[in-house]
Amino acid sequence: MNTLRIATISIALFTGCASNNNSPALYDFIEEYNHNLQKETNIKPVLLVADGLNNDGSLVKNYERGLNYAIDYFGNYGPYYVYLLGPSNKQNILDIYINRAKTRMNPNSPTPREEQIEKFLKSPNVTREIDAVLEGKAEGGLTWSEPPIRVYEDVTTNATERENNPVENTWGALHEYHHVFQIAHCDSYKERTSDRNLNSWITEGAATYSSAKFMENLNLVDFKNYMLGLRKTGGNISNLGINDFLLSEKEWRLDNETYWNKGHAAQVYYMLGAWATAYLIHSEGIPEVTVLKSWYFDVPNMGKSAAFEKHMGLPLDKFYRKFDSFIRQSDEDVMKIFKTK
């Protein structure tokens, strides 16, 4: 399998964050705005594909294999736009990005339509993405727009890689859509340390676990071997596995949000986060649907700490201590949680 690019995926964590200095009026607006995001939509996802891709239909088919499974499980949230891009003629790519800008436009803004489009196209993230598309570089990831218009976007700048790897194509669709569900049920404009937002280990760990488990349900991977691989080799996420990380880092915390900047985001948020999710389901005996889905519904009203304790049966701090003791065991011992009871 190809190694996931963690720096690319991290874009999903920081795009669309609002200032912490919001006025009370703006805060009230965002509270109501976030409440509306929790509702499912009848709008179907839209896939936009660059010229030269999907000639035999396999690119879209294999992406939709994962997307449809995820929507069946989590529900339909959106609008959701999927951009499968790659080196094409420049005008084709620009046309796609102009249409992307139109989906984000605020029709009630005093700023003219043309200025809104131009501002979006000239933003540093977008110009960098367009350059990456035209150069065939693999960047992008999940992002979402700010109020008052919410759209979710999965942007792949080099979908040629997806086209040549059907398994990773489906896998990526599953992973990113779990994030769409998660973002719809928290205040994504607050810091991830806020009780109204979700920690990185929760979002990335759960999505890493769910996508691997769903891939097994689709008969595309062996889930237990994948989880063991995260410990031994890093699996498809990193060249440094959990075992080597734990040997080098004696002190670490799942809820430490500094690993994005200091390194080891892959090991803590994605890999240890996936094992923390597995621990809740297979060791604590909490139903899979509760861990992957149900408890999120209470986060907007109760906050993640209270919602976690309500559904998991233990407070977060106690969970962190129990999981720390569990994960430091041998491979043989930790893998016992997957044995059929």
Q: For the chain, where are the E strands, in sequence order? A: 46-49, 80-84, 140-144, 152-156
* Residue 139 and residue 86 share a domain: yes
Confidence band for 21, pLDDT divided at 50, 70 and 90: very low
Residue 191 domain-assigned (yes or no)? no
Predicted local confidence at residue 97, as pLDDT: 97
Residue 333 domain-assigned (yes or no)? yes
* Residue 99 and residue 38 share a domain: yes
Return the sign of the alpha-carbon dihedral for residues 249, 273, 324, 316.
positive
Confidence band for 341, pLDDT divided at 50, 70 and 90: low
* Residue 133 and residue 80 share a domain: yes
* Residue 246 and residue 153 share a domain: no
On the question of pLDDT at 23 being above 70, the answer is no
On the question of pLDDT at 34 being above 60, the answer is no
Residue 111 domain-assigned (yes or no)? yes
Residue 1 domain-assigned (yes or no)? no
Residue 85 domain-assigned (yes or no)? yes
Taking alpha carbons only, the member of 295, 260, 287, 255 closest to residue 272 is 255
Residues 248-267: tens digit of each pLDDT: 988 999 999 999 999 999 99
On the question of pLDDT at 25 being above 60, the answer is no
Q: Identify the residue with better confidence: 247 or 7.
A: 247
pTM of the complete model:
0.89
**Domain end point (choices 122, 151, 184):** 184
* Residue 135 and residue 36 share a domain: yes
Taking alpha carbons only, the member of 268, 261, 210, 203 closest to residue 238 is 268
Q: Are 94 and 200 in contact (CB under 8 A)?
A: no
Residue 194 domain-assigned (yes or no)? no
Predicted local confidence at residue 35, as pLDDT: 59
Predicted local confidence at residue 147, as pLDDT: 86
* Residue 210 and residue 116 share a domain: no
* Residue 10 and residue 158 share a domain: yes
On the question of pLDDT at 302 being above 50, the answer is yes
Range of the domain at 16: 6-184
Residue 127 domain-assigned (yes or no)? yes
What is the tally of structural domains in the chain?
A: 2
Predicted local confidence at residue 38, as pLDDT: 84
* Residue 228 and residue 120 share a domain: no
* Residue 128 and residue 42 share a domain: yes
Predicted local confidence at residue 287, as pLDDT: 98
Predicted local confidence at residue 340, as pLDDT: 64
* Residue 234 and residue 97 share a domain: no
Residue 287 domain-assigned (yes or no)? yes
* Residue 287 and residue 317 share a domain: yes
Give mean pLDDT, residues 181-193: 95
Question: 140 forms bridges with which residues in the sheet?
Answer: 156
For the chain, the average pLDDT equals 90
Confidence band for 140, pLDDT divided at 50, 70 and 90: confident
Integer CA distances (angstroms), 333 to 206, 329, 330, 339, in order: 22, 6, 5, 11
Residues 94-125: tens digit of each pLDDT: 999 999 999 999 999 999 999 999 999 999 99
* Residue 165 and residue 34 share a domain: yes
